[in-house]
C-alpha cells in the first residue's frame, strides 16, 4: 500500500457511510451560537419557527414541518401517520424501511405490512408498484395505502422527475399516498439540479423525510407534510415516540445554517463530486466491476474477495452488505486526497 494505514489518517480511511463524517462547520457554528441564553422549549423557539418558514420557502409550499432525531423515526412515524394498522406500504425490496429499520415502520404503525416490490437499480417502477397494489383485493390481504420511495436510493441512484410522477400517478389511481425517504435528498437535488418542489409535491409526493444527518448536521431530520391536514396531530406521535426534542433549538438552528446561502447544496454537490472522482479513478481498473450508475454520493463495485481483504487490512472501512458489492460512500468531509489514496490502494489491492 502506498501509505501506511494508521489512526492518524482519521476519517480519510472511512468510506462506510456518509454518517461517519462529523458535523460541517456551518452547522457546528450555528449549534454553538444557539447555546446563548435561554429559549422556549419543545419547538416553540425562534430558530425552529425560522427554519420551518425557510423550508416552506424552499419547497414553495405552506407545509407542516416537524423534526425527529433520526431517519428511522422520521420514516416510521411518517408512514404510521399515513396508514392504518391493517394497511400496507409498498416499497422496493432494497428500501431502508424494509432492510435497516428493525421493523420500526411496522411497530409504529401497529402492524401495517411492508409490501415488497422488485427494484431496478434500487428504484421502484410504476409497473411494479401497480402489480403489488392490484395483486390482491380480498379481506385476507393488507390493503395497500402508501407507496414509499427513497431519493437518492439505497443503491446510489436517482429517480428522475417523470419516474416519481409516474409512480405517484399509479398510487393516486388506487387511492394510495406517496412518502419519500429523503435521507439523501440533498444529494438528489444537487445532482438533478431541479427545484425541490418539482421532485416532491409537484410530482405527487405527500410527505418527505428530509435527511439532515447525512448532509452534515450533527443530528436531526425534517418531516415535511405538503398537505397540512395530513400533519395534523403528528406532533403527538413524535412526543409519544420520544422524538420531540425539548431543546429543539439545537436541532433547528443548525438546519437554518444549512439552508442559508445554499450551504446544504454545496456540501451535497461536493459529496457527489467525490463519488464521481472515485468512480473515474476506479472504473478503468482490471478486476473492478462497477455495479451501478453513480448518480449521487455512493460508488458500488464488485471486487474479488482477496482485494477486499487487502483493502480492509490496510485500514479502509467500507460496507459489503448493501447493493451486492463493496459500497464506498462520500460525504461533505471526503477529501480529494482521500479519494485518490483509496483509488491507489485499490489498484494495488487488485494487483495482489
Ligand X SMILES: Cc1ncc(COP(=O)(O)O)c(C=O)c1O
Give contact residues for ligand X (rule: CB under 6 A).
70-72, 75, 96, 150, 154, 181, 183, 213
Number of continuous H segments (helices) and E segments (strands) in the chain = 13, 10
Of the pair 18, 64, the CB lying nearest ligand X is at 18
Of the pair 74, 274, the CB lying nearest ligand X is at 74
- All residues at 6 or more sequence positions from 250 whose CB lies less than 8 Å from its CB, including other chains: 31, 34, 35
Return the H-helix or E-strand segment holding 143: strand 143-150
Of the pair 105, 142, the CB lying nearest ligand X is at 105
Instruction: Name the minimum Å distance from CB 157 to ligand X.
Output: 12
**CA nearest neighbour of 12 among 299, 4, 348, 350:** 4
Please list, residue by residue across 92-130, b when 16 or more beta carbons sit within 10 angstroms of its beta carbon and e when fewer do.
Answer: bebbbbbbebeebbbebbeebbbbbbebebbbbbbebbb
Instruction: Name the minimum Å distance from CB 153 to ligand X.
Output: 7
Q: Which residue is nearest to ligand X (CB)?
A: 71
Between CA 135 and CA 125 the distance in angstroms is 15
Of the pair 122, 142, the CB lying nearest ligand X is at 122
86 by Cβ neighbours in 10 Å (0-12 / 13-18 / 19+) ranks as middle
Please list, residue by residue across 158-182, b when 16 or more beta carbons sit within 10 angstroms of its beta carbon and e when fewer do.
Answer: bbebebbbbbbebbeebebbbbbbb
Instruction: Name the minimum Å distance from CB 122 to ligand X.
Output: 9
Q: Rounded to 10 degrees, what is the CA torsion of 232, 238, 239, 244?
A: -120
Instruction: Name the minimum Å distance from CB 76 to ligand X.
Output: 9
Instruction: Name the minimum Å distance from CB 182 to ligand X.
Output: 8
Instruction: Name the minimum Å distance from CB 129 to ligand X.
Output: 18
Instruction: Name the minimum Å distance from CB 135 to ligand X.
Output: 25
Q: Which residue has the cell 407542516?
A: 64
Of the pair 48, 75, the CB lying nearest ligand X is at 75
Angle, CA of 2, 5 and 9, to the nearest 5°: 105
Of the pair 75, 294, the CB lying nearest ligand X is at 75
Instruction: Name the minimum Å distance from CB 75 to ligand X.
Output: 6
Of the pair 180, 265, the CB lying nearest ligand X is at 180
**CA nearest neighbour of 323 among 292, 297, 294, 295:** 292
Instruction: Name the minimum Å distance from CB 310 to ligand X.
Output: 27
Of the pair 39, 74, the CB lying nearest ligand X is at 74
Query: Helix 126-134 vs helix 161-173: angle between axes, to the nearest 10 degrees?
Result: 20
Q: Pull the grid cell for residue 309.
A: 481483504
Of the pair 188, 346, the CB lying nearest ligand X is at 188
Amino acid at each position: 500500500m502506498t501509505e501506511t494505514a494508521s489512526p492518524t489518517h482519521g476519517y480519510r480511511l472511512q468510506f462506510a457511510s456518509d454518517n461517519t463524517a462529523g458535523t460541517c462547520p456551518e452547522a457546528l457554528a450555528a449549534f454553538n451560537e444557539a447555546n446563548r441564553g435561554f429559549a422556549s422549549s419543545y419547538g416553540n423557539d425562534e430558530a425552529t419557527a425560522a427554519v420551518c418558514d425557510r423550508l416552506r420557502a424552499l419547497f414553495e409550499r405552506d407545509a407542516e414541518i416537524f423534526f425527529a432525531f433520526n431517519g428511522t423515526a422520521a420514516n416510521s412515524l411518517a408512514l404510521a401517520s399515513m396508514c392504518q394498522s391493517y394497511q400496507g406500504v409498498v416499497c422496493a425490496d432494497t428500501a431502508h424501511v424494509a432492510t435497516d429499520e428493525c421493523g420500526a415502520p411496522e411497530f409504529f404503525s401497529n402492524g401495517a405490512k411492508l409490501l415488497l416490490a422488485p427494484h431496478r437499480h434500487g428504484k421502484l417502477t410504476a409497473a411494479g408498484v401497480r402489480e403489488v397494489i392490484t395483486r390482491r383485493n380480498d379481506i385476507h390481504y393488507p390493503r395497500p395505502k402508501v407507496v414509499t420511495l427513497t431519493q437518492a436510493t439505497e443503491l446510489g441512484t436517482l429517480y428522475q422527475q417523470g419516474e416519481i410522477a409516474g409512480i405517484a400517478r399509479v398510487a393516486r389511481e388506487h387511492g394510495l399516498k406517496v412518502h419519500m425517504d429523503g435521507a439523501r435528498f440533498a444529494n438528489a437535488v444537487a445532482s438533478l439540479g431541479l427545484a425541490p418542489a418539482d421532485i416532491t409535491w409537484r410530482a405527487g409526493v405527500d410527505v418527505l423525510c428530509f435527511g439532515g444527518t447525512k448532509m452534515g448536521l450533527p443530528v436531526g431530520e425534517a418531516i415535511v407534510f405538503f398537505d397540512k391536514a395530513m400533519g395534523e396531530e403528528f406532533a403527538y406521535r413524535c412526543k409519544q415516540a420520544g422524538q420531540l426534542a425539548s431543546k429543539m433549538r439545537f436541532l433547528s438552528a443548525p438546519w437554518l445554517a444549512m439552508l442559508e446561502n445554499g450551504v446544504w447544496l454545496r456540501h451535497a454537490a461536493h459529496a457527489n463530486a467525490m463519488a464521481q472522482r472515485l468512480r473515474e479513478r476506479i472504473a478503468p481498473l482490471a478486476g473492478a466491476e462497477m455495479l451501478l450508475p453513480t448518480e449521487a454520493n455512493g460508488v458500488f463495485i464488485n471486487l474479488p474477495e482477496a482485494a477486499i481483504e487487502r483493502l480492509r487490512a490496510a485500514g479502509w472501512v467500507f460496507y459489503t452488505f448493501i447493493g451486492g458489492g463493496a459500497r464506498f460512500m462520500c460525504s461533505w468531509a471526503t477529501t480529494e486526497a482521500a479519494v485518490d489514496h483509496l483509488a491507489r490502494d485499490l489498484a494495488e489491492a487488485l494487483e495482489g
